Chains A and B, each alone.
Chain A
Amino acid sequence: MYRYDEFDATFVSERVVQFRDQVERRVKGELSEEQFRPLRLMNGLYLQLHAYMLRVAVPYGTLNSRQMHKLAFIADKFDRGYGHFTTRQNIQYNWPKLPDVPAILDNLAEVEMHAIQTSGNCIRNVTADQWSGVAADEVEDPRPYAELMRQWSSLHPEFSFLPRKFKIAVTGDEADRAVIAYHDIGLRLKKNSAGDIGFEIFVGGGMGRTPMIAARVREWLPKSELLGYLEAVMRVYNLNGRRDNKYKARIKILVHELGAEEFTRQVEEEYARLDVPQGLPSDQELERIAAYFAPPAYEDLAENDADHTQHLVDNKEFAEWVERNVAPHKVTGYAIVNISLKPVGGVPGDATSGQMRAIADLAQKMSLDEIRVTHEQNLVLPNVRKHDLFAVWQELKEHKLADANLGLATDIISCPGLDYCGLATARSIPISQDISNRLGDIKRQRDIGDLKIKISGCINACGHHHAGHIGILGLEKRGVEYYQITLGGSGDENAAVGQIIGPGFSSETVTDAVETIVDTYVDLRQNGETFLEAYRRVGAEPFKEAVYATH
């Protein structure tokens, strides 16, 4: 279970004391807004459209039940009884009051949590596969390496003044659930032909206004060389990355302008020049960090559980939920339970305090005290005995958390958009609700099959629309919202950037357009093709024809 180390604990509690003083001085008028703004942003406090918003970090998306209970308590006592889980594996509170924020931070610190945001042009929080440490096919838990990178980069002076912010994601599985191809650096743990575990390294991915898929610069790198190699990547970036234009400063632009081959050549050349051993963590250091992610005490169980098998036969609804929302576990007799925060017509990623408490209790009783937050705005109980699956499902059902729609049409990613976000150009949540209501019939959803719809309320792409099989970007023209649709994007191991299909749609017609696209797919699919497979076979044309003929 991840916990932050002693250094972090001291740092966090000092930060709370400091921020309490800053808030008091701001309220008394001793600090102006100009002086206070950077201080509050460093502590995760934003002033959004309607109120303050506090963004609480969930490192590697990993929580225990005490922490989840605390998040529920904060929602109750200091906010409006709910929270919003985001694509950065964080939770946001939409209505905190400024004078309450130090008390909220105190409460978070009690359970080793914080809202400190790494800001500025540095290496940001590393994100990880939400099934890290438990996925059946995982080669190795990537989180210790993510933590190693975090500690290494935050102490490394060369990386405090990069041309732009820098995001890293890690996975230990062939299947990519961490969207590594859309990060500045994406790392995948994998075995080489000799069976040794190392890293496959991707550089130069990103979303935003210039979406790009990362280029693979190393097929396999020994684990022990990770920091040295990353240092070489960062040096090439520091040396050549553009600092004259904010929009061209990300590493993706450098990789694109140099070309993947030339960029790789420069990195390898730099790497050959490096004094590699300097960048190496000692085995002892690696072990110390790995201990923070030590697996829980699993029981010795049989592969199959007779009661569970019987429930699958007896209860179709349960069986369908298991089929969509439950995934194989690394440890025999256990399963990974994915909790959908996407009820039909609901707000993607929202959970009430009551739901948070129910999930916390379930985690404590039946998931070895662990919960994960996913970038798709869902939650996970990563360690459930197969024997307990039925009881977990019943409990989830009671709290309206048992939607069997993981990966289906209504499992929509949506950023807060213009309902909350100060940067938004259009609303995204109501569009997601509308689409969810339209396609919500579960039989229809199951027939449509795997489909990722992702919506952003502005070009910043927090809703990952570029990676949506159907992506929707909300824009504004002369005071009216409109929506651009992209098709064919993907954030998995076969990542792709979605392509714009044509002129945008109004808020009244965008759901019709999405439905037409879905119906077109259903008509033209062959032999069980998924939406993405069909799109890749036929291209955008049939969809464009259908959409623009009818609208």
Chain B
Amino acid sequence: MAPGDSSMAKKISGPRILTANLLGDGLVVFLGTDGSWAPGLESARLAHSNDDVAQLEAVGGEAARANHIVDPYLIEVEDTGSSLLPIEMRERMRARGPSVNLEFNSRSNGHALVADQAVAG
């Protein structure tokens, strides 16, 4: 069971969004308002009510069954008006990526030469 699964059953207290990892490269994605799964949470689709939550859960379940994503679950966010901020530290880290190894992690896989230059230079 995914770490956030249990929160699905709870009564909703703050807005939620749906997150998962892509099956192929494992990268973190969020369900957007347009129904696509994207890395940033800026355009994530918000759930404010139990009905919204049920809908998101259904979409997540469907995408997991279609083997597009893995382990979908809802996370609580704070809607500041200008941005969405996950409440839990873990989810904030998932949303923004590692805070270290930036010279490597800003690139995609298979670009090692650049990495070596970054360190050697």
Contacts and interface: CB of A to CB of B under 8 A. Distances in A.
B23 A78 contact: no
Nearest to B97: A50
B15 to A, nearest CB: 15
Nearest to A52: B26
Closest 9 CB pairs of A and B: A81-B115, A81-B112, A76-B112, A354-B116, A29-B67, A52-B26, A51-B26, A419-B98, A97-B25
B100 A429 contact: yes
Interface string A37-53: 00000000001111110
Interface stretch (A145-153, A160-168, A189-197, A475-483): A475-483
Interface in B84-98: 87-90, 92-94, 97-98
A546 interface: no
Contact of A399 (B27, B105, B114, B120): B120
Given A80-B110, A399-B120, 8 more contacts: A80-B109, A81-B112, A82-B101, A95-B25, A97-B109, A352-B120, A354-B116, A479-B88
B101 A98 contact: no
A75 B90 contact: no
A353 interface: yes
Given A399-B120, A400-B119, A479-B89, A80 B111 contact: yes
Interface of A: 26-29, 32-33, 47-52, 75-82, 94-99, 347, 350, 352-355, 399-400, 418-420, 422, 424-427, 429-430, 433, 476, 479-481
A95 B93 contact: no
B82 interface: no
B24 interface: yes
Interface string B6-26: 000000000000000101111
Given A81-B111, A81-B116, A480-B89, A420 B98 contact: yes
Contacts of A352: 112, 115-116, 119-120
Contacts of B27: 50-51
B59 interface: no
A347 B70 CA distance: 29
Contacts of B101: 82, 94, 347, 350, 419
28 contacts: A27-B23, A27-B67, A33-B71, A50-B26, A50-B27, A50-B94, A50-B97, A50-B98, A51-B26, A76-B113, A78-B110, A80-B104, A80-B105, A80-B107, A80-B110, A80-B111, A81-B104, A81-B113, A95-B105, A98-B23, A98-B24, A98-B26, A352-B112, A354-B115, A354-B116, A425-B90, A426-B89, A479-B89
Contacts of A479: 87-89, 92
A481 B89 contact: yes
Nearest to B114: A81
Nearest to B90: A418
A433 B100 contact: yes
A463 to B, nearest CB: 14
Given A80-B105, A81-B116, A29 B66 contact: yes
Contact of B120 (A51, A354, A424): A354
A29 B114 CA distance: 35
B109 A82 contact: no
B89 to A, nearest CB: 5
B80 interface: no
Contacts of B111: 80-81
B106 to A, nearest CB: 9
Contacts of B70: 33, 47
Nearest to A424: B90
Given A29-B67, A50-B26, A82 B115 contact: yes
Contacts of B104: 80-82
B41 interface: no
A33 B89 contact: no
Contacts of A81: 104, 111-116
Nearest to A474: B89
A350 B66 CA distance: 36
B21 A75 contact: no
B80 to A, nearest CB: 14
A456 to B, nearest CB: 16
B74 interface: no
Contacts of A80: 104-105, 107-112, 115
Given A27-B67, A29-B67, A49-B90, A97 B116 contact: no
Contacts of A420: 98
Contact of B94 (A49, A426, A433): A49
